[in-house]
Homo-oligomer: A and B are copies of this chain.
Amino acid sequence: MIVIKVGGSRGINYDRVCADLSGLYQRGEKFVLVHGGSYETNLLSEKLGKPPRFVTSASGYESRFTDRETLEIFSMIYCGKMNTAIVEKLQALGVKAIGLSGVDGRLLEGVRKASVKIIENGKRRILHGDYTGKVERVNTELIHLLAGAGYVLVVSPPAISFEGEAINVDGDRAAAKIAEALKADKLIILSNVPGLLRDVADESSLVPHIIPSQLDSYMEIALGRMKKKIMAAGEALAAGVGEVVLADARIEQPILRAVAGQGTVIKA
C-alpha cells in the first residue's frame, strides 16, 4: 500500500497525476490519494471578499487561520471543486475512484484547537474561533471496506473533531497519519517543487537523500510549507512507514518517478 499526497499549490498538473495513478491502478497497485487545495482556496477567498489569513505560530509554523466562514470556503474548494474533479478525472480513466473528506464516516478524527498562539509584528497574541486540529485517529475499517471492494480513495481535509465539528488539518500530516494507520510501505508527498531544496531559488540544489535520524537538522533549510512536509515525513517514519519521498507534481509521470526515487528520498 502506498499513500500519495498531492498538494494544492499553483502549477500542479492534476491531469498528469491522474494519468499516472490510472497506470498504477491498471497494474493492480493499491494506493490512497490525499489532495490539497490551498491555491484555489486562496483565490475563492479573495473573490468572496474574505482574504486568506496566514498566521505564524510561536513555534514558527505557518498555517491558515480558519474561522467558520473560512472553513466553508475551504470545504467548497477541497471537497466540492477539487475532490469532485479528481474523482471525475479518475473515473473517466477507468479508475473506481471514490472521494471522501475526513468528516465522512469520521475518516480522520482529531482534537479541535479553538485558539492559536501567534506571533504578529513581533508580539505574541492569541486568536480565538479557529477550526483547526491534528488527525489522531483514522477510520481504517472504512478504508479497508472500500478498498476491499476495489475502490480507490481520494481523501481531502477537513477532518472532524471528536465532538463532531469539521476542522482544517494539514494535508501532509494527515497523509502521514493515514500511511501510519494503513502500515503503508511508502508515503509520497508531491508538490510544486522537486523536493527539499538547499536554496529555494535553485531547483538543482535538491537534497536527494536524508537519513531519518538527520531529519531534524534539515528543518532549518525547509521554508514555509516545506517545514510541514519534513514534519510529516518524520512522523510517518517514526510510526513505521518505510520510506517517504518528497517529489515534484508538475512533471510527466510524477508518481512513477517519485516511486523510482526522483526527489528527496527519506529512509534509513
Chain A residues within CB distance 8 Å of chain B: 44, 47-48, 72, 75-81, 83-85, 87-88, 91-93, 96-101, 103-106, 141-142, 145-146, 149, 151, 158, 160, 163-166
On whether the beta carbons of A105 and B97 are closer than 8 Å, the reply is yes
Q: How far is the CB of A238 from chain B (nearest CB, A)?
A: 30
Partner of A83, one of B79, B97, B105, B149: B79
Min CB–CB distance A129 → chain B (angstroms): 17
Q: Which residues of B lie under 8 Å from residue A85 when comparing CB positions?
A: 72, 75, 166
Q: How far is the CA of A77 from the CA of B106 in the complex (A)?
A: 21
CA distance A135 to B79 in the complex (A): 22
Q: How far is the CB of A60 from chain B (nearest CB, A)?
A: 31
User: A87 near B104 (CB under 8 angstroms)?
Assistant: yes
- Specify the main secondary structure of chain A where it touches its partner: helix
Instruction: Flag if B75 contacts A91 (CB, 8 Å).
Output: no
In contact, A91 and B164 (Cβ under 8 angstroms) = yes
Contact across chains for A92 and B164 when beta carbons are under 8 A apart: yes
Q: Please, how many angstroms separate the alpha-carbon atoms of A98 and B142 in the complex?
A: 10
CB-based contact A88/B160 at 8 Å: yes
User: A72's closest neighbor in chain B, by CB?
Assistant: B81
Of A72, A80, A100, chain B has the most CB atoms within 10 Å of the CB of A80
Q: State in angstroms the CA–CA spacing of A23 and B102 once bound together.
A: 24
| B residues in contact with A151, CB < 8 Å | 105, 142
Question: Are B48 and A84 neighbours in the complex by a CB distance under 8 Å?
Answer: no
How many Å from the CB of A135 to the closest CB on chain B?
15
Q: Which residues of B contact A87 (CB under 8 A)?
A: 101, 103-104
Which single member of B93, B103, B142 contacts A84 (CB below 8 Å)? B103
Distance of A89 from chain B, by nearest CB (Å):
8
A166 lies within 8 A of B97 (CB): no
| Distance A125 CA – B247 CA, assembled complex (angstroms) | 50
Report whether B84 and A101 are in contact in the complex, using a CB–CB cutoff of 8 Å.
yes
Closest B residue by C-beta to A161: B92
Q: Give the Cβ gap from A96 to chain B, nearest Cβ, in Å.
A: 6
Q: How far is the CA of A151 from the CA of B146 in the complex (A)?
A: 12
B163:A92 contact, CB within 8 angstroms: yes
| Complex CA distance for A33 and B87, rounded to whole angstroms | 21
A160 to B95 Cα, complex, angstroms: 13
Q: Is the CB of B88 within 8 A of A80?
A: no
User: Which residue of the partner chain B has the closest CB to A89?
Assistant: B164
Contact B88 A166 (CB under 8 A): yes
Partner of A105 from the list B98, B142, B164 (CB cut-off 8 Å) is: B98
